[in-house]
Amino acid sequence: MTVLFAEFEAATQEQWFDAARASLRGRPLEELVARSYEGIDIHPLTGAGAEIAHAQSLPGQYPFVRGTDAAGYRNAPWLIAQEINIAEAREFNLALLDAIANGQSAIILDDSLQLRAPTDLGRALADVDLARRPIFAHSTKSLERAIALYDMLRAAFDADTLRALPGCIGCDPLADLARNGAMPIDAFERMSAHLDKVAAHSERLGSIAVDTAVYHDAGANAAQELAVALATAVAYFRGLSSRGHSLEELGRRTQVFLSIGEDFFLEIAKFRAIKLIWAQMTRAFGIEGAGQKIVLHARSGRRNKTRRDPHVNLLRLTAEALAAAFGGVDSICIAPFDQALGASTAFSRRLSRNLQLILQEELQLAQLIDPAGGAWHIERLTDQLARAAWAQFQEIEARGGMLACLRSGCLQAEIKAIADMRRRDLATGESILVGGNRYAEAGQALPMPPAASSAGNAALGGDAIEARALEAIRLAAPFETETPGSEDEA
């Protein structure tokens, strides 16, 4: 075997440090160390780090940081999912069929699609091969929506179709509580009944969702997002196992939805770190083998998108899709670039879909196995983030778990503190949001704001558990109140 660059003497890490110090002309190297919102020190030069145990594992092996499949995306590329915010069932169906013909491989059913009867759902999904196109339900009130959707699916389709149906029509009532400020007092009983129903008719379908979008959109950092995901899953495992469900079944029926943030390398690390701590958590429950493998979906976040000069969002979305793909997720949902303006168009949806197709077909990321593996910076970030998230997860557990933390408001306060830091750093120029606090297009008038939505805010009938709802933020909003005069004034 030919050893590349064998004629050169290998440099030690200390020699790299010495060279860096020399380039700083007397300034200490420590000045280049940045601190993330997670409290992680980001060093300018990262060593291999023999103490990082997961770096010695292989793809498909515990703790699955390097992927749950030994062949990575070579066996199956990530699913290309997309939200189609069309209300009428027939129009939705036409847009969906066009999207599938042009590369979309998974279906998102969100609150935009108005379903009043099973026939509406039948029209929306007409002529779609549901055995090959996984369905994912996204809703601001996931418990009610998931139960209603599955009942409509049972009424609209035959038993063979239901049996072959993949995806996740999942409930996440704790996320509903965080978003809406209330959840039914019998939420876990209703989750249990939904799980029983799905298990009886749809072997391949997930029925429990762990969705961090509400926390991410409120400003949570990556460690908080992962800790919440883990604590939410633990709450469901405990609550549903006490109602007669086996832990192995719960592991198979649970799927995790993480939002994609703005820090490229940290987001890659986030998708790798959740696999590690998920495997640790499931092992602690006594779940073995395949049950320790997470099913992981990535969705572009909303907090960093701009309404002014919205095409800049295309660049953000590209970086987000790339981070999720490098992180080894199972499916990616990239929003249209004009989402912050309200309803998307066929054009903006096509661009977001083609963005993922370019990554798969032209960049050929689907031909790689763990493309981020062995990159020292990412491996160390993965390790640091997993440790930080695990510590915060333990704090949530020590306080009584997710429900107790939401009801007390301590989790909301901690997330708001991070959101305030993000706002402050943008206001002072410490951080930059292109098209927001800097580099906004000169003289461009701001579009009219989208119509306010009342989805998810309706009061619950009967007894409810209440908590303070998290406030979604959009970081560019304070800088979009005036038309910028020039780049220097932005």
Is position 369 within any domain?
yes
- CA-CA distance, 40 to 51, in Å (whole number)? 17
For residue 53, what are its two tokens?
């145990």
Q: How many domains does the chain have?
A: 1
Q: Is the pLDDT of residue 241 over 50?
A: yes
Q: Is the pLDDT of residue 234 over 80?
A: yes
**For residues 3-31, b (16+ Cβ closer than 10 Å) or e, as one string?**
eeeeeeeeeeeeeeeeeeeeeeeeeeeee
pLDDT of the residue at 138? 93
Is position 463 within any domain?
no
- CA-CA distance, 394 to 373, in Å (whole number)? 28
Distance of CA 334 to the CA centre of its chain: 10
pTM over 0.85: yes
pLDDT bin (cut points 50, 70, 90) of residue 489 is very low
For residue 445, what are its two tokens?
């008038």
pLDDT bin (cut points 50, 70, 90) of residue 447 is low
Across residues 36-52, what is the average pLDDT? 81
Is position 300 within any domain?
yes
Each residue of 410-435: pLDDT tens digit? 999 999 999 999 999 999 999 999 99
pLDDT of the residue at 446? 66
Is position 290 within any domain?
yes
Each residue of 296-330: pLDDT tens digit? 999 999 999 999 889 999 999 999 999 999 999 99
Each residue of 374-406: pLDDT tens digit? 888 999 999 999 999 999 999 999 999 999 999
- CA-CA distance, 280 to 65, in Å (whole number)? 11
- Cα–Cα distances (Å) from 290 to 198, 287, 325, in that order, read 20, 9, 22
Is position 400 within any domain?
no
pLDDT of the residue at 305? 96
pLDDT bin (cut points 50, 70, 90) of residue 286 is very high
Is position 210 within any domain?
yes
pLDDT bin (cut points 50, 70, 90) of residue 454 is very low
Pairing of strands 205-211, 254-260: parallel
Give the number of other Cβ atoms within 10 Å of residue 357's Cβ.
14
Is position 49 within any domain?
no
Is position 324 within any domain?
yes
Question: Domain of 132?
Answer: 60-391
> The CATH number of the domain where 162 resides is what?
3.20.20.240
